[in-house]
Amino acid sequence: MGEVEQWSQAAVAALLRMPTDADDKYSRGVVGLRTGSDAFPGAAVLGVEAAWRTGAGMVRYLGAGTRARELVLQRRPETVTADGRVQAWVIGSGTDAAARSTDETPALRRLLDGDEPVVMDAGALDLAPHARTPIIVTPHDREHVALRERLGLAPIGRAAGGTGARADAARETAVALRGAGVPQPVVLLKGAVTIVADADGAVHAVTSGVPWLATAGTGDVLAGVLGALLAGAPDDLAACAASAAWLHGRAAAAASAARAGGPIVALDVAEHVASVVGAVLAARPGRAAHEDAP
């Protein structure tokens, strides 16, 4: 087993950037989401909400589901639904590979053959071995088993137990993806302890400490947070993945604390991301004077 390092607030703070007067919506990062479906439209809403709350300069929603697009615009009317410049993509949340249309598969493959990094979630994970652009795959344990089978790796599930076994498996998956031709693969293996592994052997862990986070839709929120971070720092895939998991866990803790430690829903987590981002930025050592100016 290789070394597994805990991701820290300092590492998150080093990735985040406070906008300046010189910034515009493009320099702050444009994230595109091709998520949701008529069967699962809420995933699109949750991912878009999370991307905005993380600080994206622009969010484009280009999902295939008509119902999903309507709900996104009802919740977040500032979302752009026209094609255009994108610096990172999120695909697959709220979709089912078995139900993908004949038009959708080629559209996803074009993104995976493009220049922008892609966050691959849920219903897009089957396409990961075919990617020719940098990717971050975000499976939970069962999805990880299926992905490993596609790569010809030995299956590993909850029975394997422990952070060390999951870390080794995630590292092996990242290496196999690179062997399949993916240029910069990163694996974000979701769980009570989230593992982030790259193909060079680096592995980090993030512990949420909030069991209430195990609820429907929170993975869609995580994908949106990650997409926004990646749009702002498209060359730091592993750092973006670990920082997204850290922010996601802290937002869940804040949401639960606001309810006396009680249960939360996914939208609660998305809504608390902005305050967590703000707190991390405010606590940075040597914060620039202009950042405190009114």
- Would you say 52 and 59 are in contact if contact means Cβ atoms under 8 Å apart? yes
What are the pLDDT tens digits along the chain (294 aa)? 568 999 999 999 999 999 999 999 999 999 999 999 999 999 999 999 999 999 999 999 999 889 999 999 999 999 999 999 999 999 999 999 999 999 999 999 999 999 999 999 999 999 999 999 999 999 999 999 999 999 999 877 554 568 899 999 999 999 999 999 999 999 999 999 999 999 999 999 999 999 999 999 999 999 999 999 999 999 999 999 999 999 999 999 999 999 999 999 999 999 999 999 999 999 998 764 344 433
Domains of the chain are 5-283 (3.40.1190.20)
How far is 21 from 33, CA to CA, in rounded Å? 27
Tell me the backbone φ, ψ of residue 120, rounded to 5 degrees.
-115, 115
> Which of 256, 230, 245 shows the shortest CA–CA distance to 29?
230
Helix, strand, coil proportions of the chain in percent (round to 5)?
Answer: 50, 15, 40
Q: Among residues 218, 227, 219, 205, which one has the least CA distance to residue 255? A: 218
Q: Where are the alpha helices (DSSP H) in 95-155?
A: 104-112, 141-150
